[in-house]
Amino acid sequence: RRAQYAALRDQPPVTRDGTRMTLMVNAGLRDDAGALDLVGADGIGLFRTEFQFLVSATLPRRESQQRLYKSVLDAAGDKPVIFRTIDVGGDKALPYLKVEDSENEENPAMGWRALRLALDRDGLMKAQARALLEAAAGGVLNVMFPMISEPWEFDAAKALVEEQRAWLAARRKALPRDVRYGAMLEVPALAETLDILLPKIDFLSIGTNDLTQFLFAADRAHPKLAERYDWLSPAILRFLRRVVRAADDHGVPVGVCGEMGGRPLEAMALIGIGIRRLSITPVAVGQIKAMIRSLDLSALTPALEGMLARPPEDLRAALAAWADRHQV
Ligand code: PEP
Ligand code: MG
């Protein structure tokens, strides 16, 4: 198997009936960028910038943030990198950052975290924005914001980056050729205001890890709940299908960057509801590519439509049986 996946490194993720998928990887550390060539992915679809903050004993200085981003962009070469702004707070606490109000939170996942914290403590976000803009000078900067619940949060975050861009421009510093802004959809409420959000953004990335925990009201880290709710449930897939359709209608590229996309049956279902871009853990690329290359999309799409219209008792089993029958 491993040899078979390695042989796929230079093969594109195209379905049997000719649809090209975009297959990117999730990363967070400098070395992860090297994985791009090794696994043959299209870029980094989610760079978790908080990793640098989490592994550091002190607040990483702007220069050191910039060095990391630059080295990742250099390693990625022509392939795109999507940087997600800092997603800390809640259970990802930074000892050196005084976030007194986030200590002793009863529900850290739903607490003062990610963009919520970053918009309040905007010094952190401004420094990061400068580091990103300077690191991407001459190239394209793709930046996205985590845990957006309402469209205004995207506006505020974008304004903050644009402010830094203007500051640098006024000082005649080298700037990126283009800055593309994305939103993460991981809070269900955001799905109800997509008509407002979508015209503002350049791309949408669905974080299915947080999204499913909020949809099911089930802690993503709770061992007793880990197996109870299935990603392959009508609730999740119908929800995602609605989001994908809205994004398609607005011509906004939409992808999934949660762990769900790194499992073959789950990835197949995502493709079945219209997802064409996945960002997954690097070790899963071979497996997912193999699945895509064996898939007949024109057969899957109506089959899944039928399953979602009148869901079988066990959707996972039904999808597995379909995949088996079709040699996926
Ligand atoms: C997600 O929530 O699905 C996601 C990709 O972000 P993280 O796992 O870092 O919260
Ligand atoms: Mg998340």
pLDDT digits (tens, 9 = 90+) for 56-110: 999 999 999 999 999 999 999 999 999 999 998 777 878 787 655 556 788 888 8
Pocket test for ligand 1, best of 257, 259, 277 (most atoms within 8 A of CB): 257
Question: What is the Rg, in whole angstroms, of the alpha carbon atoms belonging to the chain?
Answer: 20
pLDDT at 38: 72
User: Does residue 306 surpass a pLDDT of 90?
Assistant: yes
Q: C-alpha dihedral over 78, 80, 85, 87, to 10 degrees?
A: -120
Q: Does the beta carbon of 183 lie inside 6 Å of ligand 1?
A: no
CA quadruple 50, 88, 160, 253: dihedral positive or negative? positive
Pocket test for ligand 1, best of 53, 87, 240, 266 (most atoms within 8 A of CB): 87
What are 12-41's pLDDT values in tens digits?
999 999 999 999 999 998 777 777 777 889
Q: Does the beta carbon of 142 lie inside 6 Å of ligand 1?
A: no
Q: Does the beta carbon of 210 lie inside 6 Å of ligand 1?
A: yes
Distance 210 CA to ligand 1 centre (A): 6
What's the whole-number mean pLDDT along residues 315-325? 98
pLDDT at 221: 85
User: Does residue 267 surpass a pLDDT of 60?
Assistant: yes
Of 311 and 226, the one with more pLDDT: 311
CA 158, distance to chain mean position in Å, is: 18
The protein residue with its alpha carbon nearest to ligand 1, atom 8, reads: 209
The protein residue with its alpha carbon nearest to ligand 1, atom 9, reads: 48
pLDDT at 296: 98
Distance 315 CA to ligand 1 centre (A): 24
SS3 state of residue 262: helix
Q: Which atom of ligand 1 is nearest to the CA of 208?
A: 3
Which among 127, 116, 187, 202 is positioned nearest to 156, based on CA atoms?
116
**∠ at Cα 126 (201, 58), nearest 5°?**
125
**Helix%, strand%, coil% for the chain, nearest 5:** 50, 15, 35
pLDDT at 82: 98
The two structure tokens encoding residue 128: 């990061």
pTM: 0.96
pLDDT at 141: 98
Contact 248, 274 (CB under 8 A): yes
CA separation for the pair 210, 207 (Å, rounded)? 6
What are 211-252's pLDDT values in tens digits?
999 999 998 888 888 888 999 999 999 999 999 999 999 999
Distance 184 CA to ligand 2 centre (A): 8
